[in-house]
Structure 1
Amino acid sequence: MDPMDWKTLESTYLFKDEWLTARRDKCQKPDGKIVDPYYVLEYRDWVNAVAFTKEGKILIIRQFRQAYGQTITELPGGTMDPEDASPTVAMQRELLEETGFSFEHIAYLGNVSANASTNNNVTHMFLATGGVKVQEQDLDDNEEIAVMELSVDEVKQLLRDHKIVQALHVTNLLYALERTGHIKM
């Protein structure tokens, strides 16, 4: 335990749903000061991948995002389901469902927090390589996803032009492009 860590004295759930849970915590700082209320949003962990086809193209998807109010360009990914045995299993499932592609290798690149001050979950980032289309998409009822196969240069231009607004996806792209030698950090 880090000496700067707070102690949670109590938690009260304000709202619980499959996709969002909000709680109010009462916390104690190391100096004894009480922080009440402190609000936390609970989500399942998320996964996303920079997915390369066997031909070296990157799979990029487009879909409407209600909270943002626009159709946006992003990486394949989604929420871990309770039955997913691991983040890697969840990523394989999401890639197959959203793109119809299966991959020879899926490498874990680490995890990041969308907002560590309010959200309790992380996004697990992956680099998938050797992708081959093996089926049609298997989308949820509320999903409409267009899949594009773009060159590394086209994806780098999307980043330069700020055309990928999902920060967690930009982060994964930077890690994956650095790992594959396409950029230097």
Structure 2
Amino acid sequence: MSDVLNWKTLSSEYIFKDRWLTARKDTCKTPSGKIVDPYYVLEYTDWATALPLTEDGKVIMVKQFRQALGEVCIELPGGCVDDTDDTHEDAIRRELLEETGYAFETVHYLGRTSANPSTNSNLMHMFVATGGKKVQDQHLDENEEIEILELEWSEFLQLLEEKRIVQAMHMSTIFYAMRYLDKLGYK
């Protein structure tokens, strides 16, 4: 891939740093020589999520309140890649175990996606997890309150039909997982 469209970062200044959010102001130069100042970037850690299937073929989803949207959302399990995770697979296996109490026989990497590459610096790594067995209770972070849903495939498809999953990156993961599982049907 050609890099002729790449911008050059002339300077960066952090304007806000906190546990979950870092914002910086860049001064950039485009290939045509135009100076873009300011250009704001939000820095987040990478994320990992998976479409998880139990050993008997049920789909595991989670429900939790999302403050920014002000709604209880149905989502895939997942979360931040921590400094203690050696790989993205380690991160999703840890997140699945913490949020659902399930361990998975197989975890397959589906690729990466970005919430918004014009403003966010991080990526979300997508997986499909199969052969899940309940091995422990949930071990949630201090601010997490998560309800686990174990859905038959038909119930999962109904959620999709009703457009009940609003997290766009999770929908990307679902698409790639269904493609990998050969579960896409076109009408």
TM-score (norm 2): 0.97
2:72 partner amino acid: T
Query: 5+ residue gaps in structure 1?
Result: none
Task: State the partner residue of 2:30.
Answer: 29
Task: State the partner residue of 2:73.
Answer: 72
Task: State the partner residue of 1:176.
Answer: 177
| Deviation for aligned residue 1:179 | 1.0
| Deviation for aligned residue 1:184 | 4.2
1:114 partner amino acid: A
Rounded to whole Å, the distance in 2 between the matches of 1:168 and 1:155 is 17
Contact preservation (8 Å) 1:178, 1:184? no
Aligned length: 185
Contact preservation (8 Å) 1:63, 1:145? yes
Rounded to whole Å, the distance in 1 between the matches of 2:173 and 2:25 is 31
Task: State the partner residue of 1:88.
Answer: 89
Deviating more after overlay: 101-110 vs 79-88: 79-88
Q: Are positions 1:106 and 2:107 aligned together? A: yes
Contact preservation (8 Å) 1:60, 1:76? yes
| Deviation for aligned residue 1:125 | 0.3
Q: Are positions 1:133 and 2:145 aligned together? A: no
1:63 partner amino acid: Q
Task: State the partner residue of 1:122.
Answer: 123
Rounded to whole Å, the distance in 1 between the matches of 2:42 and 2:153 is 35
| Deviation for aligned residue 1:72 | 0.6
Task: State the partner residue of 2:61.
Answer: 60
TM-score (norm 1): 0.98
Rounded to whole Å, the distance in 1 between the matches of 2:57 and 2:174 is 15
1:59 partner amino acid: I
Q: Over residues 65-123 of structure 1, what are the superposed CA-to-partner deviations in whole Å (9 max), with x where a residue is unaligned? A: 11110111000000111111111101000000000000000000000000000000000
Rounded to whole Å, the distance in 2 between the matches of 1:28 and 1:83 is 36
Task: State the partner residue of 2:7.
Answer: 6
SS at match of 2:175: helix
| Deviation for aligned residue 1:181 | 1.2
| Aligned-residue identity in percent | 54
| Deviation for aligned residue 1:135 | 0.2
Task: State the partner residue of 1:167.
Answer: 168
Rounded to whole Å, the distance in 1 between the matches of 2:153 and 2:6 is 42
Rounded to whole Å, the distance in 1 between the matches of 2:33 and 2:182 is 48
| Deviation for aligned residue 1:4 | 0.4
RMSD: 1.0
Rounded to whole Å, the distance in 1 between the matches of 2:81 and 2:19 is 12
Query: 5+ residue gaps in structure 2?
Result: none
Contact preservation (8 Å) 1:107, 1:126? yes
| Deviation for aligned residue 1:61 | 0.5
